[in-house]
Structure 1
Amino acid sequence: MEKTNASFIEPVGKVNLHSSKWALGSGLGKFHALLESFFIKKGYLLLFVGFLLGRALILAKLTPFCLPFFASVYLVRRERAPLALIGLVVGAATLSLANAAFTFTITVWFLVIFRISQKWLTNELRALPFFVGIILGIGKLGEAFILSQQLVLYDLMMVGVQACLAFILTLIFLQSIPLLTLNKRRQLLKTEEIVCLIIMLASIMTGTIGWQVYDLSIEHIMSRYLVLVFAFIAGATVGSTVGVVTGLIFSLASVSSFYHMSLLAFSGVLGGLLKEGKKIGVSIGLFIATLLIGMYGEGGGSLLKTVLESTAAVCLFLLTPQALTSRLAKYIPGTPEYTAEQQKYMRKMRDVTAQRVSQFSGVFHALSKSFSKMEVIPDEAENDREMDYFMSHVTEKTCQTCFKKEQCWAKNFNTTYAYMEEIIHEMDQNDGTVSTKLSRDWEKLCTRSKKVYETIGQQLTFFQANQKLKKQVQESRKLVADQLLGVSEVMDNFAKEIQRERENHHKQEEQIIEAMQGFGIHIEQVEIYSLDPGNVDIEMSVPFCNGHGECEKLIAPMLSDILEETIVVNKEECATYPNGFCHVTFRSSKAFTVETGTAHAAKDGGLVSGDSYSTIELGLGKYAIAISDGMGNGERAHYESNETLMLLQKILQSGIEERTAIKSINSILSLRTTDEIFSTLDLAMIDLKNASAKFLKIGSTPSFIKRGKKIIKIQASNLPIGILQEFEVDVVSEQLKAGDLLVMMSDGVFEGPNHVENYDLWMKRKLLELETDDPQEIADLILEEVIRSKSDIIDDDMTVTVAKIKHNTPKWASIPVYNLKRQA
């Protein structure tokens, strides 16, 4: 289980011979929780770290740690910044009162300047190191001038060094402070974060320089302990890195500690190489390094003292609990614990990838069907229309200026049309020649027969080329459809292969079953697919409840208490016979729900409307309402509008952003046909988490939001889909509230009322006159009002959709489960 808001532990078993061991473990657990709460949650660790950094020095006189540490804490954990400031000032006071006064003054100046500059900053994180470096440099420059009343080159060099160090330390602290202040970190550490953490720990330990216990140096003991821990966890590479970095920091703080870097680096390498021997092997590595380096040169201290310091470090290391090292090992690359965490993460990513691939497969399948569908217009009607176009071009160049035009086309239309149609067919089939009989008959009727033959021959050339082009387009369309279908099948098979292994939640499944059975509810099977906060997905098989509603009234409230978030029944398939099982899906509840109502009517009371509408509940916690109006009326308009909504639904369900989805649909519809067939789209995307809404209006009429006695108009100017291949989509955002009524309609409703000059005012007045808040009743009333205003004549397709935003209030309160222990 990767991310959950509730972690389970095994129920307490029988108290027997192991009761004392359990009591000891429970006591240690409570003590550990108490320490974690005191230092991490309440922030007193920052107080202690600030105290050590306040007295940390570089080259025995430079103090560049204070301002970078405070600035980083102020940006990361602002509420804990006062504790950090107190620790820094107290630590600086141990060096000198002047140093404490400078630390406090420069911190106040930073707060004032940074707070004033926040109005113009677009990225505080990037600007912070520059602020710290410049402010500390100016402060140190002023301090040097006040003390000596003049500035020499050495002072300028020291100020520049401290400003650069402050800049770098700010970057390091910004990476490492979150590791010390977050008690439940889920992400795995990067290599840069590990190095920053090591540098920060070494910097903190420089604050212990000069501390001694029984003549043993505290900084030497703690630095060797740090190397032992990292060498034991991550091996020789990380151990030697920790040793070199820590030794380098100590050598910068005190030149007398330069030999210590060699000892730490060597002990890190040896300890890492001997980590297979567990803690004893790593400890032996430190002792070997201590003896070799100590015998090579005393380095400012006796060999006995160095060995005693290493012994103290080893004792601390051996007393370090296994739980702490195992927990730290999860975040360091190269460790088995890190690999296990990576495998968990990969299993989660596998499931998410499989779902997305499956959704994209559905998108490609829908595109394939869209390209492969035949034209709605019958072949015979299409042929008649093409013949009419062909003949109009011929007569425009021949008969239009003929003196017998009235005789041929007014008095003998049918005869002339039949002869010309026969001539066109024969010339098309016989390579431009006409039979003798037909030619003789036509010459008796027409005085410009040769001109007609020549014009028909010319037009046939264009007609045949056009037919050939249409055939190529149809073949290309079929080719694209086949390719898309193939891609869809490949992606669907790939998704099935990925989903063969479900994430392992066996322990949690058993504990849920045990908790339910302890409550007296029998459950046959539990399958947990996700325990992510806000995205819980659990399936259960429950015995037939005879319609008593156990799932909604008992199981969902108990899961809500266990998982500490509202769980509801998403889908329920009841048993078909008394001894069977009901299959139930439980999901996380959303903060808001949407109730919709729709009313529509076709032109002249027909059965097929050119308008289409759809309400889609997406899996991303969003709810989409869409209305599409195809150009014209009837079957073709319905086909275009319905195709637009079907493509929109598939693309949105795949997780593609709304603006990109509409652009994709526009490109598809523009390429799919050469006919001038367009469709409008009115889309509202409602986020069920916070009720924020986005409106995308493509050639559609305005929408209205009724909030009590207030009417809000939503409109945007975009061309209908299919006109231009490339266009920008304007998005209108609006924050909805519980109780709001969203009214969307096609142009047949908005522009439908007769004898109305201002449609906006008329619609707003009708909405304000409503005495009901039921979406379906409102939709019916609006449609009826528009039809009545037109004397019961429906001269255009009409569609109106009304949505009501409501708070999602669970019907049942959570039921506490006392026999299931949770980890704090």
Structure 2
Amino acid sequence: MQAARETEQRQKIPAGKRGFFMLKVLKTDVSHPFAAALMPRAAVRPALRQGSAFLAGFLGGWAVLYGALMPFGLGLTLGFAEDCFAAGAAGALLGLLLHGFGALSLDSLCLLCAVGAAVAARWLWPGRFRPAALAGCGALGLGAVCFAFGPTGGGVDLLLTCGADALLAAALGFALRRFPPETPGVGMLLVAAGAAAALGSVSLGLLCLGVAVCAAVELALCCRGQPTAALAYCAVTGAALCAADPSLGPAAAGLSCASAAGALLAPGRRIEAFAAYAGGCVAGVLCVQPPGNAFSLLLSAGAGLAAAALLPKDWLAPVPAPEAAAPEERPRFSAAATRLEAVAESLSSLAETVNEVYDALPHRCESFRWVIDNTHDSLCFNCGRRECCWKQEYAATLDGMNALRPILEQNGHLETSDLPGALSRCIHPAALCAAANKSFALYRSRKEARVHAEAMRTALTEQYSAVADALGVLSEQLGRPGNPEPYKSGRVADFFSSLGTPPLECAVSLDDLGRTRAAVTLPRTRFAAAELSALAQEVGRLCRRTFEPPQVLSCKGMTTLLFSEKPALRAVFGFAASAARGTISGDAVQQFCSPAAAQMILCDGMGTGRPAAVDGNLAAELTARLLKAGFTAELAARLVNVALALKSDEESGATLDLISVDLYTGTARLFKAGAAPGFLVHGGRARPVGDASLPIGILGGVNGQSRVVHLAAGDYAVLVSDGLLVDGTGWVLKQLELSAAAADPPEQLAKALVETARTRAEATGRPDDITAAVLRLESCGR
């Protein structure tokens, strides 16, 4: 049913201008309780956005700067988002038409044509600024040329005016694209400047509407405890008022003094902010304007204060300031990071506590003296000769009991004929042997149990410590998600909203190396491979990067898409293997690429045949899963060591040899635990890497070695099992250099190494499992 619904919905989607990526409309489960709560807001929000865009466009079309320039209408049309630029253009056209009241100037006619051309270009090339800017400004310039040299005779003044309008409109549109007006910042200030310029030219008797509105907004910002926003708004709107009408200069100066007084003296305090703002306004106006001409300006500012006083108290409530992060630490952006860190500390503390308690507890049955004491308590304590044997002849009796230890350890039991001469005086020899045998058997079983319990405790605490370290690494990664890019995050969120489902979360950030990453969380959705590729192309275009198809993570009704930049390198893998006997090899290989790195693992189980194959495959599979989950090589080795140690009662072990290559930088990290030397071919020269160490699964901890090297395109990394090095490393180095010079594929190189090693091993009569895993880096066109 789900597949049928998806097929039917795909058939209903028209092939629009973005046809290659509009492959699927994301679906939301409307039965979910959150979906029902958000549906009214989702229905009202587009209408509010378009209504606001229409009003802003109308004010921008009405606004005139310095008596001749009208750039706001065209600039808003170029800068508004895709869902509301048409409404803004309609408002701008209406403002231009009404401003002339039927007597349109030549400049207004040119602007009407320019707005229409910009709208047409935005419909033809959605989401692209340059075609719309060229169309709008080009139409404005062409109209100016036609009118300037036509019969109407606009002259050079018209050319200069339209040229200035075109430049200002293009700059305004670009700024609005870079800083959307929906969020506080430059974009919102530019729209406010257009509104102030439009309202500054509207007078109702002695009341100037622009001054009143500016005063109300500035006072509201002061009451809300946002002094920076109030001062920035005052500076921008004051300049717009002066540009709209030079006679409003004293009003702008008075509002500037008022905003400074309210923002600096009483931010966030309603009554005090009103008093400081009013006093600063009166002082500013009177210092600039003669008292006889100040009445109109003070009346307008007073109307703004009255309007602010009538606003709901919630609108004037102070905004809580964000908590400042400690200077020595970067802020934590996720509560999950803190929780993971707390869990990591708890697990680490648990491991330390278990070890401390074990060390503090008394340990019984640790020496043969316990066998002697138990034999005394079970037999000699009730014997009539106890006083003679254990007091008068204590030294001889104790020497005789100690003499029983080698006999019991060798034979496992004691016969009456085995009693030494010091114990020949015992009147119950058979009972003494039985009591000693029972005590020694109990001693040996308890000793074995203690050894097994100590191994289990060591494995448990080692596992707790390794998981704690892994959680600590993940916590640090979550706590440092990189530098956020809100503008790109908004563009990506708008794109997914246009497909039918607004994302639950959307974050685009730059990591420490300057790579762009994007994480988009959606309601549970399935994607085909072609759809993921199309999404990667479109998200990459929005972020101005080249993205790989995203990694898809699904959990609890949500799907997260992780986009990462296309790396500079790509890995080509190859391997070959030959079993010592039969078809079962104890060597296991894992080769794969994570979103940012190429991973290659080689594990050699101890011995040959099926038991070695079980250990080798278990170690390789567990290591691969842990690396894919984000564990480092050292932590993965510790956890695999525990798994091998607890796999069975028999001793298990395997070598661990892995290499992880960062496909962005070429940095390679090698980790070896008991593995044979590996080989690197860099610049055509081969060299071995790795020293002797112990395999995993044998000791309580891991005795591994790590190394970091740098590789480039054309280099090889080769991991081999010890069976391939039966004749040393000399011939391997020569073969690698010859193959690198010929640029042999990794599969071909691996087969050549294994076949040559098999021939040499048969000649020496020392067969063993032989495996070679090869990784070659190639340049990846971006």
TM-score norm. by structure 1 comes to 0.41
Q: 1 or 2 for the larger relative contact order (CA 8 Å, sep ≥6)?
A: 1
* TM-score normalized with structure 2 length: 0.43
